[in-house]
Each structure stands twice: as C-alpha cells, then as structure tokens.
C-alpha cells in the first residue's frame, strides 16, 4: 500500500490528473483497516484547500455509495479516533471548497459534532489540537456554524481546559506521554486561540461568552507575548475577532491593557501577524475606545505611517485606516503628529494609490483631520497649499462617485474654517469646480457641492456678504433657484 507525502497543490493536481481518485476510493472499502486508513489519509491530503479535487470527490461513488456518505460512516463514534478525525478533515475540506453546503446535515449533524467531541478532555493532546484546528477551519466563514458550535457540548468552556494542560487531573499514566505533552502544550493553546477566533468572528453573544470565560483576557495577553510565533499569531487572531465588539472594547480590553503586548507584537513582526495585528489595532483605535491615549504614547503613529508605505496592500489599508480612526475627533496635537509623521509626499503617494480602498481611507483621514474650526484653520495654514493641490488633483482625475463625494466633503470642511475659507474663495478654479458639481447628474455630488456653498455663504460669519456677492456673480444663485425646483426633496431642502 502506498504511503506518500503529498504537499501542495502541484502534487495534488498531478495525482489527480492521473485518475487516481477512483482507484483510491475503492480502497476505502477494503477489508483491511490499514488500507482503508491510508486511502482516507490520501483523500484528506488531496482535498485540502483544493476546490477542484473537492468538487470531483463529491460525486465519486464506490459500490453505489457516494464518498461523502462513506466518510460520514467513518465518523461513527465506535470507529478509531484516527479514522474519525481524518474523515472529518475530508468533509471539512470539501465543505470549505463549496462542494458540500454548510447547512448539509452531514456537516451540521455529523462532522461538526464529531469535531467538537475531539476537543474533549479525555482525548489525547494531538487529537485535541487537530480537532480544534479543523473545527476552526470549518466554521471560519459561516456564522450559523459558529453559532451551532458555540452551543454544542459547552465547547467554549471545554476549550478553556486547553490552557490548563497538563493539569493534575490529566489522565496521563506514563512518563513518556507526560514528557511529550509538556513539550507540546503550546500547540493546545494556539489551537484554542484559533478556534476562539473562528467562533467569535461574527456573533456578539458568542464573543461575550468567550471573554467571560475564566481568565480569557489574561490568557490572550500572555499569548501575545509567548515565544512561539504560532501561539502569538493565533492569539492575535483571537484578539482581532473579539475586538469587533464595541462593548468589549470599552470594557474588557481597557481593563486588561491589551494594547501594550499588541504593540510589541507589531514590532518586527512578519507580515502575516502584522496584517491581523494592525487590523486589531484599527478596531482598538475607534473613537469610543478608551485604549486610544496609551496607544499613541507608545509610538503608534510612526508604526502606522510606516505601514502605509508597505508593499503589502492589506498593510497599507490597515495603516491608513488606523490613522483615519485615530484622527477622528482627536486633539490638535495628535492631528499634527499624524500629518508630520505622514509627510505630504506620502499623502500624495497615498492619494494616487492604485487601490480605491487606500484612497478612500486617505480621504477619510483628511476629512477627519479637517474637523472643528480651529483645527481646520490651523492645518490649512500650514498645509493648505498641498491640500488644495490634492483636492484639485482628485476632482480633475478619473475617480468613482464615492471618491469625488469624499473630496467635496473635504472642501466643505475647509469652507467651514474661518480663515480657511479664503483658500477656496481665492481659488477660482476650485469655485468653478464646485459650480460644476452643483449641476452634476449625481445627486450625492450635488449635495456635497451645496454643502460647500452653504458653508461659504453662511450669514453669521464675517465677510459673508462679500462671498455671497462673488458667488452670485458666478451665477451660483441661478443654479440654486433651479435646484429648488428639483424633484429630489433633499436638493430642494438644501
């Protein structure tokens, strides 16, 4: 019987193309357990992260029985654990590849419960690790599966045991096993983090349950500082899932100062960790996060600015997004720091980024920076020229509606500034552009443009009369009249 290590999609396709599938499938019903097991292992490797193979496997049959059914039979509780686990892996791969629906009973009522059972205390270390990892993979993208897993057999509590291993009540009777397990205990922790991350990815109630599990935050903090990189990454993932909860950000996260170890993780971390960690940081920096202040003190701005220069798109997005969050309703000092850290060159670089997400977030940053009058004036006084240049660039360039809208909003903010106004009023080119957008076909853009005008002519402010006159001269008033008869109620009101 064969026994070969298949690694990677290349080998998978190679074997696949040789029509090996049907032959191996027949071995699944061999009378010899060893043969059945080898065939099963082979399928598990073949199907892993390979949609093409998975889709084919779903239709293969042996003696009139489809492969998924054969695998399901191998999940039965009186089969050896090895067989149950490997069969579960096969079905998981096929499900993730889309070959089996996530609401299929063979997944929901067979595979999932089987994997949950693998996490039980009575199982061997490697069984628990593999069970948790496979389950994490299975439910990663489906909220319904996450919900079902979270209520099955008290999984969330069961996983907490992974951090207590080996405990005094472990059923270890020989030294060799004890020695082995001590060496590999970190595998348990990383598997638990992974599964928690999957469980808490989407549902607020589940997140709550996870965080309320004994010592969870402490464990995560510890995990972020562990020597094993695997554990660190898994802990970050777990933290990331949990950070999607507004409530947790305000409470547990603050209580436990997770930002410190997180910031440490971000230093010199490989990209894989950086992406998730920066994403987490993003969440932590949201306005209502009490963590914001301390984070800034630990050099977050420099870090984030450097991220925006990364070749990795995800990192760029996360970096600029985090800066944007940071700037929201922030103090003047922070805003200045950001601008200083970012430098105008970088800003322009970002504004001409090929990815629209980066662009949008940069614009968002600008918008956040340019809020509250004193800030606007201050910033425009120092960076006004560059900013106006940037705005002009965008409005002239080819961009989608959202981008232009954002830009116009920035203009509107500028128009709100006391001294900043002048930068617009003295810029005929910009004024013409605003006028143009007031008559644009897209209502959003019209609205945004009118915001600008509205701010410019605001009666309560000094010099408003002059501005109004100028605008009237430009013919703005006529357009306004026209718009007041428009069918769109928003425009009308405006």
Partner 1 sequence: GWDKHSYGYHGDDGHSFCSSGTGQPYGPTFTTGDVIGCCVNLINNTCFYTKNGHSLGEKRRVFLFLPSQSNLYPTVGLQTPGEIVDANFGQQPFVFDIEDYMREWRAKIQSTIKRFPIGDRLGEWQAMLQNMVSSYLVHHGYCSTATAFARVTDTTIQEEQTSIKNRQRIQKLVLAGRVGEAIEATQQLYPGLLEHNPNLLFMLKCRQFVEMVNGTDSEVRCFSARSPRSQDSYPGSPSLSPRHGSSNSHVHSTGADSPTCSNGVMSTKSKQSHSKYPTLSSSSSSSSSSSPSSVNYSESNSTDSTKSQQHSSTSNQETSDSEMEMEAEHYPNGVLENSSTRIMNGTYKHEEILQTDESSMEDSCPQRQLCGGNHAATERMIQFGRELQMLSEQLCREYGKNTVHKKMLQDAFSLLAYSDPWNCPVGQQLDPIQREPVCAALNSAILESQNLPKQPPLMLALGQASECLRLMARVGLGSCSFARVDDYLH
Which residues contact partner 1 by CB under 8 A?
Answer: 76-78, 108-110, 113, 148, 151-154
In this structure, the chain runs to a length of: 494
Nearer to partner 1, 109 or 401 (CB): 109
- List phi, psi (to 5°) of 393: -55, -50
Q: Smallest gap, in angstroms, from Cβ of residue 158 to partner 1? A: 8
Q: Smallest gap, in angstroms, from Cβ of residue 365 to partner 1? A: 42
Nearer to partner 1, 105 or 465 (CB): 105
Nearer to partner 1, 80 or 397 (CB): 80
For the chain, helix (H) and strand (E) counts, in that order, are 32, 2
Nearer to partner 1, 25 or 158 (CB): 158
Nearer to partner 1, 9 or 113 (CB): 113
CB 305 within 8 A of CB 342: yes
Say how far apart CA 199 and CA 202 lie, in whole Å. Answer: 8
Eight-class DSSP state of 494: -
Say how far apart CA 128 and CA 118 lie, in whole Å. Answer: 5
Q: Smallest gap, in angstroms, from Cβ of residue 112 to partner 1? A: 8
CB 291 within 8 A of CB 327: no
Nearer to partner 1, 145 or 281 (CB): 145
Residue 192 region by backbone torsions, left for phi larger than 0, else alpha for psi between -120 and 50, else beta: alpha
Q: Smallest gap, in angstroms, from Cβ of residue 152 to partner 1? A: 5
CA angle (287 as vertex; 282, 291 as ends), nearest 5:
70
Nearer to partner 1, 105 or 141 (CB): 105
Q: Smallest gap, in angstroms, from Cβ of residue 75 to partner 1? A: 8
Q: Smallest gap, in angstroms, from Cβ of residue 99 to partner 1? A: 22
Q: Smallest gap, in angstroms, from Cβ of residue 109 to partner 1? A: 5
Structure tokens given for 10: 């290349």
What sign for the dihedral angle of Cα 176, 178, 182, 185? positive
C-alpha to C-alpha distances, 230 to 85, 238, 273, nearest whole angstrom: 22, 12, 10
Nearer to partner 1, 77 or 481 (CB): 77
| 162: Cα within 13 Å, side-chain hemisphere | 36
The torsion defined by the Cα of 469, 473, 478 and 483, in degrees rounded to 10, comes to: -70
Say how far apart CA 273 and CA 262 lie, in whole Å. Answer: 10
Q: Smallest gap, in angstroms, from Cβ of residue 154 to partner 1? A: 4
């Amino acid at each position: 019987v064969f026994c070969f290590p298949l690694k990677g999609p290349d080998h998978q396709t190679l074997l696949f193309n040789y029509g090996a599938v049907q032959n191996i499938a027949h071995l699944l019903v061999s009378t010899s357990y060893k043969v059945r097991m080898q065939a099963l292992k082979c399928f598990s490797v073949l199907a892993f992260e390979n949609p093409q193979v998975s889709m084919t496997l779903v239709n293969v049959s042996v003696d009139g029985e489809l492969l998924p059914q054969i695998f399901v039979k191998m999940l039965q509780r009186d089969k050896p654990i090895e067989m149950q686990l490997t069969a579960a892996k096969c079905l998981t791969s096929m499900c993730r590849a889309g070959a089996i629906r996530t609401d299929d009973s063979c997944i929901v009522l067979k595979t999932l419960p089987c994997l949950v059972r693998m996490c039980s205390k009575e199982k061997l270390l490697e069984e628990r690790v593999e069970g948790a990892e496979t389950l994490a993979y299975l439910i990663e993208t489906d909220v319904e599966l996450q919900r079902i897993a979270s209520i099955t057999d008290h999984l969330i509590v069961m996983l907490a045991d992974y951090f207590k291993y080996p405990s005094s009540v472990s059923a270890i009777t020989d030294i060799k096993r004890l020695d082995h397990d001590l060496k590999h205990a970190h595998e348990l922790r990383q598997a638990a983090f992974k599964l928690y991350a999957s469980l808490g990815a989407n549902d607020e109630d589940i997140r709550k349950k996870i965080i309320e599990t004994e010592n969870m935050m402490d464990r995560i903090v510890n995990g972020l500082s562990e020597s094993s990189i695997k554990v660190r990454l898994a802990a970050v993932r777990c933290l990331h899932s949990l950070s999607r909860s507004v409530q947790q950000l305000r409470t547990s996260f603050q209580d436990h100062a997770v930002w410190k170890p997180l910031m440490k993780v971000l230093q010199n971390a490989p990209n894989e960790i950086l992406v998730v960690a920066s994403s987490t940081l993003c969440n932590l920096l949201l306005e209502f996060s009490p963590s914001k202040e301390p984070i800034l003190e630990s050099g977050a701005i420099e870090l984030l600015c450097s991220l925006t220069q990364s070749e990795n798109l995800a990192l760029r997005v996360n970096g600029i997004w985090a800066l944007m969050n940071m700037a929201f309703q922030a103090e003047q000092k922070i805003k200045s720091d950001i601008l200083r850290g970012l430098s105008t060159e970088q800003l322009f670089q970002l504004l001409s980024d090929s990815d629209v997400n980066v662009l949008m977030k940069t614009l968002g940053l600008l918008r956040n920076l340019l809020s509250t009058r004193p800030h606007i004036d201050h910033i425009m006084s120092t960076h006004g020229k560059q900013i106006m240049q940037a705005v002009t660039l965008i409005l002239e360039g080819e961009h989608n509606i959202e981008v232009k809208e954002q830009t116009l909003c920035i203009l509107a903010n500028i128009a709100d500034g006391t001294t900043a106004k002048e930068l617009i009023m003295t810029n005929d080119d910009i004024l013409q552009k605003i006028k143009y957008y007031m008559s644009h076909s897209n209502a959003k853009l019209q609205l945004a443009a009118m915001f600008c005008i509205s701010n410019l002519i605001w009666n309560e402010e000094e010099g408003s009369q002059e501005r109004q006159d100028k605008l009237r001269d430009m013919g703005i008033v006529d357009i306004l009249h026209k718009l007041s008869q428009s069918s769109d109620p928003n425009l009308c009101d405006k």
